[in-house]
Structure 1
Amino acid sequence: MLSFIWRQLRGRAGRSVALLVGVLVATTGFVVLTGATTTSRLDVTGTVERNTDAAYDILVRPKGARTPLEAERRLVQPNYLSGLFGGITTAQYDQVQAVTGVDVAAPIAMLGYSTAPVTTAMDLTDAVDRSLDRQVIRIDPRFVAERGLSTAPGRARYLYVTKHPIIHASNDGVSSSDATPYTDGRSYPWDETCGPSPREVLPDGRTQSICNPRYAMGSPGAYSEREDWAVMPVRLLPDGRFEAHVNVLADGEGHGPGYVTTSDRLRIRYDLTVPFLLAAVDPAAEDRLVGLAGTVVEGRALRPDDSVIEGSRRGHHTVPVLTTSRPFLDEELRVGATRLPAARPGGMPLADLERELRRGPAIPAGDASADVVSGWRSRLAEGLSPTGCCFGQLQDIVQAGTPEYDRLPDGTLRVRPLPPAAPEVYGGHQDFNPYPRPWLTEDVGARPLRELSLKKSTPKEPLWREWRAVGVFDPQKLTGFSDLGKVPLETYEPPRAAGADAASRDALGGQPLEPSGNPAGYLAAPPLLLTTLTIVPELLTDGGSPQAKAPISAIRVRVADVDGYSEHAAEQVRLVAERIAQVTGLDVDITLGSSPAPQAVELPAGSFGRPALRLTENWSALGVASVITKAVDRKSVVLFVLVLVVCALFLGNAVAAAVRDRRSELAVLACLGWPARRIGTLILGEVAALGLAAGLLALALAVPLGAALGIDVGWRRALLAVPVALLLALVAGLTPALRAARAHPAAALRPAVATARWVRRPRTLVGLALANLARTPGRTLLGAGALAIGVAALTLVAAAGYAFRGAIVGSLLGDTVSLSVRGADTMAAVATVLLGAAAVADVLYLNIRDRAAELATLRAVGWSDGALGRLIGYEGLALGLLGAVTGAGLGLTGAAWLVGALPGTLVTVAALVAVAGVLVTSMAALVPAALLRRLPTARLLAEE
């Protein structure tokens, strides 16, 4: 049987090669094009919160920013931005903006924590004994945070109250260590250890220095604020008012020579070092996303053209920022006052100063307290000014990472404790940082810290960077700022965690735990200082930070025409998210429909008294959880299967024609005793051999062809070519084989082409062409159907690509459907049309062979080759019109069904595709028409 099959294939080499090429093209195209659709796809899972009003629909973060815990549980941590510093380039941001369907893309670049002084006022008026000529009041601070659970004592400060005049270094004239002008008009040399300290004027006219240890400490940035201490001289005036330097009195009036001010009350300034998280935004995008400009309550909003301001002094740079009206920090200072009537700091050297001040009797004199929130509000109440509120240093910026957890059997997350970071992270004297580090930085941490690499200041090239507020914004007025019972995904939402058990709730006094003043602490405050994105390159220049190349930490995206959650809106957002993931390769999460997901967290005990706490923290469960996976685009596979379907129709028609051509031979075999089963096996064996050969050739061609087209096919996918080609050939040959097996030997006496009984006698070439097509209705419908399938597919793809900008989103049978156009989809649709045109050409070719005697007769009676060619051309045109119009109508109906409307652009696209199908088919008809000249007229007439 095998040798017989081989002789049959070799004897009809032309037809065999044609069938082989058809299977080879279809199979190779299918394998290569499916390789092009192995791409990143967003799987949508999760329970959707129907009533959502988030400020943005999609969250884009750097590749790898999604932690394994987030990916596993479909969650996003609160204040996910606080530990995320850079990772997205401006080029990727431009790609996100260019994605069709993006309404707003708001970038944010987290820079890190800047420390700033927050003045608290301690009223010690009643601690003063006005009958004493001189007295010292010792101020013992206690730093308190985390609902009073963390407390630490600080180094005592001393308030020296005297009725004698006090002079200060003048702010006029040139100062030097040898001769510094003072407010009494005279000059005095500096103390070697205390610098230009205030001087007390004694009754005999002599003056003595009141050493301030702050001058000796220099720039105390590496010290904890618990270690910071000072001696502050205050004069009690005869009228009962108090006079002191502006840095001593919290609310004094007037700035005289030497910055001296007076007040009715002795309210002492106590500056706390508070870390504020600094971020850079695009002001225009941020305003569109959350209405940032409308939340400015004082000063002005950020402007896109804001830049670093060069100061009058060399190396002085000021960054304009928008600062918060609400610091969202739980930190307090409590002080106890003790009167030391016998202490005398005047003229005391620094080495003996603190020891001497502790001597003598001590009389309790009251206490006072203030918190960071009230202190910040007091600063804001002073108003924005070049010398007043509000400012902070940018010499040292600290970046905090994300916490790590241990998972307990019940699902609770236990925070892994970290030792306190090295003090050098916060800078110090070598960086000209003027502020000590926050006291809580000595506590057990939960976040790793690192210093942002900035250009360093040196004595030869001094560099002073600071931020200064140009406006104040109220975060609670931002769009999307919601109750914490809702979705905690907003950029400026302060995190809070309630006690999860009775012991924790009792320890917290029934209040939630809030962020403290520790950048390494578990709960991190949101960004409360905002500057412009254009300033980031200026700030990071020459610093060596990798963030300079990829400064953006996240992009928050709002999708056009999405207002609340719906099935249609969810599909629009999913489609845009998928495109962003494809073009950028970044981590993409869909936040539309997100809802809070309470998560139990165990926080280890702190170093300053806070016990271990079990907390309930609101994480965000993504309503439409998106996970990027590798999968084959199912819609594209449908298009590629159509390639195989059209090829199967083409092959089926060709095999059926071969069977008809061998009617006499098959009838003889039947008369010789061949059973029907063996005749059918012969036909299937021939097409199976062709399919196997085509599959092996496709296996060899798929990988190199894919490499040439830039498509990763791979050998595993290429191996699919063999079974696909074999199955395709068998399916195409099954029906003709069954017909051959069931045929009666007498069928060989019937003509191959039947007479069209229902057609009237044709009087024109067009009529004759239609009559000829009607004589083989099965073959005609098969050719037209193959073309119709291709035109319908191309109509849908073209409609999605042009009429709907690459996407059709709508509702079909209650399930949201999307069609996104890829290059491979277009290639598949075009290939289907071309195969359909080839099927039409094959139908015309077979018609010419079956009617060869008739055509020879027409030539013999005087018909010219031109007339016969026009006849075949009209047949091809009719087939093309039938298939193209039918396919365009099907494609138009399908596209209209998907979108629920029939726009004019869609009709135009369908008409253009139909015209293209007719033109391609007409060109394909030229090939069989050209074969008319090769008809052996004499031999055919002789055979008749």
Structure 2
Amino acid sequence: MIHFVMKRIINRKSITFITILAMTTIFTLIPIGIQLSQDARLSVETTIEKYGRGSYDILVRPKDSRTDIEKSFGIVEENYIGDSSGGISLEEWEEIKQNADIEVAAPVASVGYFTGNQTSVQLPFVEYPARFTWQFFTTDGVHRYPISDQHSLTYFEYYYGNGEWPEYFTTNWDVIGARMGLWLPLNYYLVVAIDVESEGKLTGIDFTGLNKSVAAAPDSDALQSWLQDRGDPPVIPVLQREDLHIPLYISVKEEKLDISLAEYKAKYKVDKERPIYSVDRGYWEALENDLRSQPAIETAEYDVDLSQFQSPFNGTFVVITNDYTVEKGIGGSLSNDTSIYYTASKINYQIEDDSIQVNKVQDGNPPTYKEVTKHGESYLETESPPFIVWQMGTFQVPETEKQLTSSPLGIYSSEEVKTMDGTTLTPTPYPGSFISAPAAGVTTLEAAEIIKGDHPIDAIRIKVAGIKQYNADAQEKIERVASDLVNKGYEVDIVAGSSFKEQQMEVEGIGTVLSPWTTLGVAQTLTTSWNRIALVHIILFSVFGLVWFASRLLYERNALLEENRLLSMIGWTNKQIRRKNYTEQIVLLTLATIFSLCILLLLNRNMHPFLYSIPLLFWILSILFVCVLFTNKKERTKNEHKYRKWASFFHYRHLILPVMGVIFISVIFVGLQTTAMIQGIIEAKKTTLGDFATNELFYINIFLLTTTLFLTFTSVSEAMKAIFTNRQKEFQMYYTIGWTKKMIKRHLLKEVAVWAGISVILGVMFSFSLFLIMDLSLKWTFVILLSSIGLFLLPLLLTNSVTKQIQV
């Protein structure tokens, strides 16, 4: 018997090769596909364990401080400390620190927007008389905003004699300091209060400069003089951030004039040894009008960038050179009026139909998007100011690689907000800017109490103790600490496992912008999503394999009915026929299993040992299928019913129905496999952590998708090839009765289109049902439709290809 079977297998080289190749492919790719889906899941888990934890784990804020946009979108904006309203006292912070499960509890308080020392920019001392007209402006990255009135002065020459000075005249003395120095506009930047020790632990930044005494402060003599003159008010120590600069520009129009200094001094009775600006006040208006009436010989306009030289709280006196470059100057005017400050509310985001709109609160130069409130008193208006702000040094935020996770540290944030054309928006040097500016300065919590009262703290950032990597155990511990804080009445957000997400919004006056916000729970969502995708891969690969084998063996059994009848006619018993069929199928299955195991071992993918048993499991199941399907003792009787339509379909239904089963499961397999994968990737890529994880899995996902498509093509091709091989006599009959090859092909294409279409439609309907059960978005139905169209065309293309080889 075995000799007969082997001879038959060898004689049917083409069919044997295709059968073994198809089975080997199934046996090999299914365990590889399952292994790759597990690799993908483990890769996501490893990425989350490594990168899922940011600077801290829990954000604690006063009760009812959560905004509407946080409630609606599950996101936290960078300006989470908001409107400087506070709500947590230093005593409550000390109580939170006592929890043994808390490693770091770093408080932060938004104190307000403060200014610093005001200085000036000197106009160029050119070699000829000129009229200078200037105006300061700033920018938000999109628009240019004038932030001063337009002023002018007339310059004659630089005087060297009994002393030296620039000879110039103007009536705008309130905007001009010494030596043609133009007062820079006041600018206001955010100051936040921190605890030096805990903030240092959280960020790794040295803030010990805040502990300096007045005597050790920079320019301590000037500070002590200010304090003595103003009744010794409290000093608010500030450390300035080194890398921040004020977006400040000056527009200068230079008009060359043909005028004589000597003539003007004589005309307006000014001594030759005195500067022209010492003219008697009674001549000011006449002299100003006279100079303005002088025509320009030449005119040039310049925009000069002062930004790199100007830092919050510590302006730098600069000089515009004759070629309109900028250099640091020596001396210059200096003013300090720091007891006036502002607070700004949170932005009032308007939410409509899942879209976010930001409207202006007040139009202006620049416009404001927050409610701004003025506080404090000017030194010029009181002898007893409430405090004086003084810079004690600087701090530097270390450069770090782009973070995958987001623990919102809005006070240091430098995440870019961009317009749709890629333009980066920048904060303006005034309160109320749409862009949440990082803190330009930090001060102490004690200073915040002086300004804000007994409950100055706006938020506390907590790092949970004893966590080495972000996994399920870490999540459980973080949730336990968070639950305890919720029970104490705080507003609590778990930010561990969060990530940045670009949020699109419409901003009045700017347009559509993309802003990186903190999306909560990204790590958990990623884990759940990829666990589900892995499970879908495993189930679909397994079910596809089982259905393919069942359909193939049904087909084989039905295809052998005619051969079995012939063997019975020449004296074979049913038992002998069944044993021959068993043996042939088992030999083919065994060869495919051996080849598959050899390929898996050669690939050396360090797969789980269980996966090596999958070919053996399929081998055992296939043998059981063989025993069940080939044990049918009743010979199929010929149906004498005359079919008026689709006679060949009904006649060969025992061969066609198994192929329809393969197409049906292929529609489900390709559609759901591809949809689950694409939806998981696209949803994950909305955040930086998810984007990184999916990029790491790019080649795995490509291979899984390729495997899916290859298995489908192989199974359908093998089935179609076998059907037409067994119908060779039918084609010869068509040719005998006068049909041409073209007529035969058209007949077969119509037939295949009908039963393939039925299979595809049923597969699509079943897929949509699974979509609802698996909670997959219906927007991906086009994937099912595209894959079903492809699977409908595949048997037609194969039919067209096979019919070209029909022997008639």
- What TM-score does the superposition give when structure 1 sets the normalisation length? 0.42
Higher relative contact order (CA 8 A, sep 6+): 2
Between structure 1 and structure 2, the one with the greater Rg is: 1
Structure 1 or 2: more helix by fraction = 2
